[in-house]
Amino acid sequence: MTDPYDTEITVLARASGLTIPVEFHAGVRANLDLLRSYGALIEGVDLSDRLEPAFRYEP
């Protein structure tokens, strides 16, 4: 059987003043991995040096 304890989750939770029970580590790990993949996707998008508002944008 795989150990459900995830040290990284414990460290990140403590840094935020939280305690996450071990039984939730697998779900938190899945969410953390998903968020990191989204972050990598966003970081990989090339943006022009000059950003302009969307067409017909009115503040």
Compute the average pLDDT of residues 2-27. Answer: 91
Supply the pLDDT for residue 52: 79
Long-range contacts, stretch 39-48, CB < 8 angstroms, 24+ apart:
none
Supply the pLDDT for residue 2: 58
pLDDT band of 59, cuts 50, 70, 90: confident
pLDDT digits (tens, 9 = 90+) for 32-49: 999 999 999 999 988 777
Whose structure tokens read 């039984």? Answer: 23
pTM equals 0.67
What is the chain's mean pLDDT, rounded? 89
Note whether 9 and 29 are within 8 A (CB).
yes
